[in-house]
Structure 1
């Protein structure tokens, strides 16, 4: 799940012109959210993939949807998504860098493909963002 940064910025801009509108500090601004389908594929790994550390990294970057949640966890997930709004390209870049930082030493020859489909809630289109790159190519890019 992700939250749109555009509406939050528009709301923030609107608040700056109207003294009657107030938002408590620490509460994320209003915006719309969307369900996303994000895939991380790793190739060129000749060893056991440490899945738990990968999920821990992903959980710092995205809010994973779940089939059933108690209401307090629903609230927490919505809060987390709105506290850190992301465009799809941000999601893909952040996941790429999270995977890179996690595996650059242990699997430097591997490749990673990250794709994310955002099923937009208020628009009549969906958004797709994708990257496919070798970890060592990220090394070269970052060293420039």
Structure 2
């Protein structure tokens, strides 16, 4: 008996759909890094979709499950070095399996574990970082995106400037020499309010260009006032606080720092690589958050930063 293909029927409302798919597919993915002899196990979540023409009632969603299961099974047989390459492979296969589609999209999110050493005691702890990848396949080719979200701390330059003037007045009132006041303000970190910041970078480029996640993580951490750590001794806390207060940055500064580092570090990428840099600061003395973002092609950013 031949079963009817109801998805192939004509819909009652003939409208194209941009995305039809399945979400929240959770899978274990093994990633092999060059500097490790053991694979990294990621618990990952996938969202996969295709476009749907107006003359078709539905998509064959079971094919998405088949494609992702088959690709991941193959990935277990050989090392996978980047999560974006896995998304590219799945996207291409999904497009092949849906003959009516002109676009297939795969999104993947995972949590990435990194070992960190405290700055003074060098005590070790783990940091859990969000990483994500996306691949879009069309008959013209495939573009892939990789990114990460990293937490850090920022110290407010504005409040620090206000506090510095108050300290200058107090020291002047007790007749401290002006030269000594300048030296004190230069050498001793001035109080200010802090924020826990969440920096995000994603870079989208044609397949074949290398965008290491570890480098994106490093750039985001360098763009804030200081890194944060899961475990710190007292001497480490002093070092982190001093470093942050000697390097105050606005939320806008953090994004601009990211852009400058990206332009400097990724000279291998083409001008049409799409860069998104975003910073969200969770304020400590305000009830709101602050954010800044830049989205632009790398060629445009290169012209701005000369």
TM-score range, shorter chain: 0.7 to 0.9
Give RMSD over aligned pairs. Answer: 2.2
More strand per residue: 1 or 2? 2
Q: Structure 2 matches for 1:30-109, cutoff 5 A?
A: 30-44=191-205, 46=207, 47-62=209-224, 63-103=226-266, 105-108=267-270, 109=272
Separation in 2, partners of 1:51, 1:85: 26
Residue 40 of structure 2 is matched in structure 1 by: none
SS at match of 1:68: coil
Q: What is the CA distance between 1:37 and its match in structure 2?
A: 1.0
Separation in 1, partners of 2:295, 2:304: 14
Separation in 2, partners of 1:25, 1:118: 26
Q: Does 1:5 align with 2:157?
A: yes
Residue 118 of structure 1 is matched in structure 2 by: 281
**Residues matched between the structures, number:** 142
Alignment deviations for residues 55-102 of structure 1 (CA, whole Å, 9 cap, x no partner): 444443322323223333232222211111011001111111111111
Contact 1:32/1:121 (8 A) holds in 2? yes
Residue 189 of structure 2 is matched in structure 1 by: 28
Contact 2:277/2:295 (8 A) holds in 1? yes
Instruction: Flag the structure with larger Rg.
Output: 2
More helix per residue: 1 or 2? 1
Separation in 2, partners of 1:26, 1:132: 37
Shift in alpha-carbon separation, 1:81–1:92, aligned structure 2, 3 A: same
